[in-house]
Amino acid sequence: MNSRRDFLQKITASAIALTILPRYSMAMPEQPYDGPVLRVAIMGLGSYGSRVAEAMQSCKKAKLVGVISGTPSKIKDWQSKYSIPEKNCYNYETFDKIKDNPDIDAVYVITPNALHHPHVIRAAQAGKHVICEKPMALNAKEGQEMINACKKANVKLLVGYRMHFEPHTLEIIRMRKAGEFGKILFFQGLCGFKIGDPNQWRLNKQLAGGGSLMDIGIYALNGSRYMIGEDPIWVTAQETKTDHNLFKPGVDETIQFQMGFPGGAVASCLSTYNMNNLDRFFLNGEKGFAELQPSTGYGPIKGRTNKGELNQPIVVHQTLQMEEMSAIILQGKQPVVPVDGEEALKDLKVIDAIYEAVKSGNKITLKLAE
């Protein structure tokens, strides 16, 4: 199955092979760790679930100990590959029994978008912390219900915002907070690729909840917020559809959206399933600028500012994410940029507003704090 993840993997594979091992080892040197370890069961053993599992083999603070899948052959393969005991293996009908398994602390939900809502709520009701892939849900209503369920169960809800831990991204955020760019004026986020397999779930409205915006455009939306350092107060949006056979009603091909922020900055973003070579963030201020290109791919991320090239460590995003999420869940660590359910809910509110703006042609006022 072709997908955004397959596409990003192909365009960066050669660069990763050349750079990731030596530079990653410098970023996270080998040293003894005797602190708490987050024991994780992955739900959804597709391409991205496999990527997370592989990345977790390098983790010290998190360990893959369980699987949840509807495909028995995948469960067997993962059992063998990752030495997962039979008692930690579940299917979608039986996984509520995970509540009786003290050897699993958290469930990482990596299923199609429409399944996030029921899967997260069931995991929470089983008393397990939850990590959910983005978008957290199909809309803000579902997202709030997921937050409520986790609060009621007294478990944490985190979302797979891997870029919130990426070193080049965090350096730009540090510089912006330090005033090195001056007053922020403008952000541009370009996210897209030409989608492949027409039968994949990402082109199914019932499973995906939309199209490119839900899958790849959320990077530009979320990126505008952490790059500018504010939440938007209005949004406008326009949709372009050139292939009505591939992109059925409710599945967006290309959406351009614009946002305004309290400090006066504006953002212009593009999300598409019909153009390649789009993975760029640009931030402009009165005193300087910052650019990331690639900005959200699996690596290596490359960046520059008005002061020159950024040379932060190249990391495996999913390894670093799981290390940091373990520290958040087990040690109460506060990340530079939040990765909790409330953070994801804000993105869902904006996504709802973007779709509303596309349909109405109106500027939609946003109140993300409510």
SS3 content of the chain, % helix, strand, coil (to 5): 40, 20, 40
What is 17-162's CATH number? 3.40.50.720
User: Where does residue 200 rank: exposed (0-12), middle (13-18), buried (19+ CB within 10 A)?
Assistant: middle
Spatial separation of the C-alpha atoms in residues 293 and 304, rounded to whole Å: 9
Coil, strand or helix: which one is 352?
helix
Nearest CA among 162, 160, 136 for reference residue 148 = 136
pLDDT at 6: 52
DSSP characters over 233-251: SEEEEEEE-S-TTTS-TT-
Q: Are 291 and 274 in contact (CB under 8 A)?
A: no
pLDDT at 31: 74
Cα-based torsion angle of the residue sequence 150, 155, 159, 165 in order, rounded to the nearest 10 degrees: 150
pLDDT at 24: 44
**Residue with token string 């992109």:** 247
pLDDT at 20: 39
pLDDT at 299: 78
pLDDT at 30: 65
φ, ψ dihedrals at 90, nearest 5°: -140, 160
Q: Are 24 and 301 in contact (CB under 8 A)?
A: no
Q: Are 246 and 168 in contact (CB under 8 A)?
A: no
User: Where does residue 203 rank: exposed (0-12), middle (13-18), buried (19+ CB within 10 A)?
Assistant: buried
Sheet containing strand 106-109, strands side by side: 89-90, 62-68, 38-43, 106-109, 129-132, 157-159
- For the chain, what are the domain ranges? 17-162, 163-313+342-365
**Alpha helices for the chain (secondary structure H):** 4-27, 47-56, 72-82, 113-125, 140-153, 167-177, 205-208, 212, 218-228, 317-331, 341-360
pLDDT at 23: 43
**pTM recorded for the entire structure:** 0.91
Superfamily classification of domain 163-313+342-365: Dihydrodipicolinate Reductase; domain 2 (3.30.360.10)
- Output the tens digit of pLDDT for each of the chain's 370 residues: 444 545 444 444 444 343 334 444 445 556 789 999 999 999 999 999 999 999 999 999 999 999 999 999 999 999 999 999 999 999 999 999 999 999 999 999 999 999 999 999 999 999 999 999 999 999 999 999 999 999 999 999 999 999 999 999 999 999 999 999 999 999 999 999 999 999 999 999 999 999 999 999 999 999 999 999 999 999 999 999 999 999 999 999 999 999 999 999 999 999 999 999 999 999 999 999 999 999 999 979 999 999 999 999 999 999 999 999 999 999 999 999 999 999 999 999 999 999 999 999 999 999 998 7
Nearest CA among 2, 21, 13 for reference residue 294 = 13
